[in-house]
A and B are shown apart, each in its own frame.
Chain A
Amino acid sequence: MDYILAGLKEAFRLLFSFDRGTYTVIFLSLRISGIAVLLASCLGIPLGALVGLHKFPGRGVITTLLNTCFALPTVVVGLFVYLFLSHRGPLGMLGLLYTPGAMITAQTILATPIIGALSLVAVKGVDPAITKSAISLGATKVQTTLTVLREARVAILAALIAGFGRVVTEIGAAMIVGGNIKGTTRVMSTAIALETGKGRFELALALGIILLAVAFLINTGLYYLQRIRE
């Protein structure tokens, strides 16, 4: 029991003394996942809006695919990204493997279907009369789509938060394609795994606390967004 308490004490010391190594890991984690969510929203939101607002052949297939990819196992995504980026793979010449770029790639693939599927639900939730009003007031197709997205803004923001929550906590892909290299690809989840394996619980606990705090903030955010919607 003592070593847990000791670990916790040390964890708080690391956090409140603003220990350089600890915060490097935290900021790397937030940066990599942040960029991934940004990229994923550039793909996922337009995809969701397109599928949600327009009728075209293949619409059902895309919807099903999005929903399937919602639950993509992270290690499988890691494996595929690894195969593509390894020096024998088709994108090997990019030299991305074991860099933050590889992790951003994997996390973007993980977050896009989540953001896409939730954006689709979000735009479908907008009253069709809103779309018709926009058209009747002279909006172009693009302007109409942007108007619907603006109406769905709270739900879209919730989609982004959900996507971020998924990638910042995942470990499978980060470990495989990032390689857990100190200072460049060691993020919160991989660092916790490593430090725990080595029996050094202080740093693992400190990062665990931060990760929990991030998850807590995310869910608090979602809770308030839901309250706003009601």
Chain B
Amino acid sequence: MKNYTIQTHNLSKEYNGEAVLKEINLQLERGRIHAIIGPSGVGKSVLLRLLNLLEEPTSGEIHFDGKALRENNRLNLHRRMTLVFQKPALFNTSVYENVAYGLKVRKENRSSILEKVKKALEVIGLKGYEHKRARDLSGGEKQRVAIARAMVLEPEILFLDEPTSDLDPRNVAIIEELIKYINREFKTTIVIATHNMFQARRLAHEASFLFKGRIIESRNAQEIFTSPKDKRILRFIEGKMIF
């Protein structure tokens, strides 16, 4: 039997009566990298917010470790996983305070926070940025701070929403290596939403193709692109997708 961290059962989400996600049944295996792929506006970001328990589904359920949400403690779950937003919402404080935030709310001791933040900033190429104001950073720098802020928590599950959308090729490569490293070293389950199928192929073990609020195919990440069963995926690959 496979070891699933998260399973969703007919997860649906409506905004003002309009269905955005429809009966999503996802199974996320522990320690793997999963890509959620699909064109713009299909509901990738909404799905990640639901999985991270930041919004309530209209119907359906999410199970963690095989247990329904009501059997779990919400704060505990929130402290086992974290989401890096598509548009990073940094706090209006220093870079250091931003990266330290999750550790501080967990009441870690100062010296260990100091060390972890320093290391994380080095890894993402923002060494010496501690005292800069987060609001003054460039888009790509902000995105990297948001990644560092999640990374220092060494979460069991890491959700990444288009983590490289604002980055240049060199930084894309650095972040992709980092994602693979985190998965390898800490056995972190990673869920990455991207519209870039090449990135999905480079990073993911499994991929789910989301189209108009439904998952139309969910498979091994290589196969889904080389031999997709659904014609719409083929059209997406060929760049002929009509929205």
Binding site for B on A (CB under 8 A): 127, 129-130, 132-140, 143, 147, 150-151
In the assembled complex, the Cα of A140 lies from the Cα of B102 at a distance in Å of 11
Chain B residue nearest to A137 in the complex (CB): B102
The interface residues of chain B lying within 8 Å CB-to-CB of A127 are: 89
Taking a contact as CB atoms closer than 8 A, the residue among A130, A135, A138 that contacts B91 in the complex is: A130
Of listed B79, B82, B101, B105, residue having the most chain A CB within 10 A: B105
Q: Is the CB of A129 within 8 A of B153?
A: no
A136 to B101, alpha carbons, bound, how many Å? Answer: 11
Minimum CB–CB distance for A31 against chain B, Å = 33
Interface centre among A135, A143, A150 (most CB of B within 10 A): A135
Closest to B80 in A: A138
Give per-residue flags for B85-97: 1 if the beta carbon is below 8 A from chain A beta carbons, else 0. 1010111110000
Complex CA distance for A135 and B101, rounded to whole angstroms: 11
Most A Cβ at <10 Å: residue of B49, B54, B90, B149: B54
Establish whether residues B89 and A137, one from each chain, have CB atoms under 8 Å apart when the complex forms. Answer: no
A-B contacts counted at CB < 8 A amount to 52
Give the docked Cα–Cα distance between A151 and B93 (Å): 8
A138 near B87 (CB under 8 angstroms)? no
Query: B89–A138 contact, CB under 8 A?
Result: no
CB distance from B56 to the nearest CB of A (A): 12
Q: Are B102 and A138 in contact (CB under 8 A)?
A: yes
Chain B residues with CB under 8 Å of A140's CB are 75, 105
Q: How far is it, in angstroms, between the C-alpha of A127 and the C-alpha of B102 when the chains are bound? A: 19
Output the residue of B52, B75, B91 with the most chain A CB within 10 A.
B91
Question: Which of B155-207 touch A at CB < 8 Å?
Answer: none
Of B49, B87, B92, B150, which is within 8 A of A137 by CB? B150
Q: Does B67 contact A (CB under 8 A)?
A: no
**Contact (Cβ within 8 A) B89 A132:** yes
Known: A143-B105, A151-B92. A137 touches B82 (CB 8 A): yes
Q: Is B78 an interface residue (CB 8 A)?
A: yes
A133 to B106, CA, bound (A): 15
Interface residues of B in 56-105 (CB under 8 A from A): 75, 78-79, 82-83, 85, 87, 89-93, 101-102, 105
If A129-B85, A129-B87, A133-B89 touch, whether A138 touches B49 (CB-CB below 8 Å) is no
Cβ distance A133 to chain B, nearest Cβ, rounded Å: 5
B149 close to A137 (CB less than 8 A) = yes
Contacts of A130 in B (CB 8 A): 89, 91
Contact status of A137 and B153, CB under 8 A, knowing A143-B105, A151-B92 = yes
CB pair A129–B150 under 8 Å, yes or no, is: no
User: How far apart sit A116 and B106, CA to CA, in the bound complex (Å)?
Assistant: 30
Q: How far is the CB of B95 from chain A (nearest CB, A)?
A: 15
Given the known inter-chain contacts A130-B91, A132-B54, A151-B92, please indicate yes or no for A138 contacting B85, CB distance below 8 A.
Answer: no
Question: A90–B90 Cα gap in the complex (Å)?
Answer: 51
List the A side residues contacting B83 at CB < 8 Å.
136
Q: How far is the CA of A134 from the CA of B83 in the complex (A)?
A: 10
Could you list 22 A-B pairs, sorted by A, with CB under 8 Å?
Answer: A127-B89, A129-B85, A129-B87, A129-B89, A132-B54, A133-B85, A133-B89, A133-B90, A133-B91, A136-B52, A136-B78, A136-B85, A137-B150, A138-B75, A138-B78, A138-B79, A138-B82, A138-B102, A138-B106, A138-B153, A140-B75, A150-B91
